[in-house]
Structure 1
Amino acid sequence: MPSVREIRPDSPKWSNLRSILNAKYHVPWYFFGFLGWNHNGSYTGILSDGGRKHVSTARYLIKQIQTSDEREDIPLKIKTNFSWDFLCFHVLWRETLTGSKSLILLCFDLAGGEVKETNERLLKRMKDHILNVNETNVHSGVSENPFSIHTILLREVLSIIDGSVWRFRDPLKSLEEQIKPEDDDGVRKQQGGQAAPGTPPPNSLPNTKGPPKQPLTTRNKLDLAKRESIELYYHLLGLLRHLTHGIETMSASGTALARMEQDCANFFPPVEVTAGVNGSERKRLMVDPTLEEMRCTIGLLKTMQERANSNEKRLERQLDRVFHQVDLESVAISQRVLDEIRNNDRDVTEFLTRLTVIFLPATFTATFFGMNFFELVDYPIWIYFVVTIPMTLLLFCLGLGLPGFGNWEALVRKVKRHPEQNIV
């Protein structure tokens, strides 16, 4: 059958088909509208003609995460391609007065959403599974009752949902394995024991007691690490959105199955039988195997949903970790800027102090002899140089005894900082 979206009322191409489906096969009214196409999961069942006719419609929507492609522009290779599987089954079951039974199954949207490459893949998978079960089932065929076909289809639906849940887990597990907790030195590690890109070494923290033992990590690398973390954060937000939507569709499918199980229980009321011999007879209730399998299917779906909920919680924890990691990297950048300012001010102050020591004797001499208590009418200029030069040499020699006073070349290099350390 064509897609439900193609046979909507606003499409005149399939007007005749809509009339046939509605009148002859009793397809529900909402099936041809946007509600039927976009519904996450639903079930409706109607029993008529004294229990000899049953019409049911089941709709499932499954979100898949693709495993073929990987993102190459983020530090962690997390798969990001998604697709939808639209599954819709309409069953018309009849039983004649002579006891013969017939079943008509209409399959819609078994084309893997809008992915053309998967066209007929799901349909062939369902068809092969139905034929295989019908041939190997020694108890009854798929037309024995109106719910046997649903249980057979649900086996494949659960298989698809199970694969989707575990594929959602793969990128999450990859993320947890590649990003390790900090070691004793505070270095973020990846697999193989290597530091993560842009991670500052342990000795890159601000040193308040003197020059650092090794060069500090440049702020450009810290900015790069922060940008990568921010990109990873938004990527995880997108992954969480898809996972939450997948859980929503699973919950809707669970609601549809609960409705189907109730309809099946009404069709197969428990039968009271007497078991035992020689006076030990006991009355027991027999449950139809189809109903029991449907209940088992509901239990399996609930366990899958619990797994999906667990994946969501794990992903939320990773999202919180990356969020706090961005905060820590922002603090590291701010601390790096403050450290640059402090080191730069210290170097400039040291440079100006040395210049002041050199020019202090000349300034002091000129000021001293310019005071009012000196009455030199004809002041010889040579006296100024005789006093200034020895004092300058004396102070310079005393300064050579101080640590690093004579290393002018290193001091000039500190003042002329590298361009990537400029404060903006």
Structure 2
Amino acid sequence: MKRNRYVIALAGVILHLMVGSVYAWSVFSVPIAQATTWSESSISFAFSLAIFFLGMSAAFMGRLVEKFGPHVTGTIAGIAYGAGTMLTGVAIQTDALWLLYLGYGVIGGLGLGAGYVTPVSTIIKWFPDKRGLATGLAIMGFGFAAMLTGPIAQKLIGTIGLTTTFYLLGSVYFVMMILVAQFIRKPDEQGESKSLQLANGRQFTANEAIKTRSFWYLWVMLFINITCGIGLVSAASPMAQEMTSMSATVAAFMVGILGLFNGFGRLIWATLSDYLGRPTTFTVIFLVNLVMFSSIYFLGNMYFFVLAFCLLLSCYGAGFSVIPAYLGDVFGMKELGAIHGYVLTAWAMAGIAGPVLLAYLHEQTGSYRPSLIVFIVMSVFALGLSLLIRKELATSQVKRTVV
């Protein structure tokens, strides 16, 4: 049966809108604390646990995409994320913290990982001529999800109650994700062949890819980009209030604007990478990070602070959307889903490292400036790696160099 690639891309966007709702967790934090005996830190740990399992499960879910097809992993994602969300309602109703961690953190996190990797490598194969645009479209949905879910969840909590909201949202995720997953299919053999022809160089297996220096350069670059970005996401409002004397109301408005840049940044940077090339795009991303972190450190102007944060959040989103196409350029399309899954383990590590590092340094020093210094140093290192991998790719094809 002939399939329309734009329908498949739309199905991927909808799937990512569902799983991206994890970024709306902060909307639930206070109501959960009021409805249970749990501490604020205990509740926030559920989010970190979900992100950790997202990144770790993506490694093996990427292999399942290649073996069984994206419609299968998308179905698994719908079952796991829907069930995990509904179990969160049960956990709140019974005041069982362990069930929150199991339901939202572990089961929900597994669903997140499966849902995240399901459309990306598949859509790239449908758009071999526009890889950056393809991944940008899919992953943009993940970036915008919190802006959609947040207000809806807030309204539902006020009208039907907290636990019922989780039951309702879980049911919607369950049905919608399973439904759209059936539309996400691999290209037929002819389309697959065209995709492979347009890929540069040899086609690596996932096991071959992880034995190259280039894979680990990309892994560390993604880890640094996410560590810095998710650290900012976790503390954007208090950081703005402390460093620029911004009011809480203005800071909350700024957080909403950041969501736009996080979402649109995924599409714009990824599309731009089709013209600049992935190596140059990553170099520019880390250069922007370095300049903006340095500017925030030295300048206290509120307007420039907002501008810098917006650019930093666009770069944070860019890392997610550019990396799949970069992997396709370097390692080919043969097992891109599995390779993408492996590199997303960097997200699992960074999802814990970023917020914990920033919170710890702020607690110890009473200031966000030490965190900025760490982020500046990390950006310099990542910039160096982006130049190093460019040199390696320019001088020779990726070699199977065991690291």
* Structure having the larger proportion of residues in helix: 2
How high is the TM-score relative to the length of structure 2?
0.20
Relative CO higher for 1 or 2, CA cutoff 8 Å, sep ≥ 6?
2
How high is the TM-score relative to the length of structure 1?
0.19
* Structure having the larger proportion of residues in strand: 1
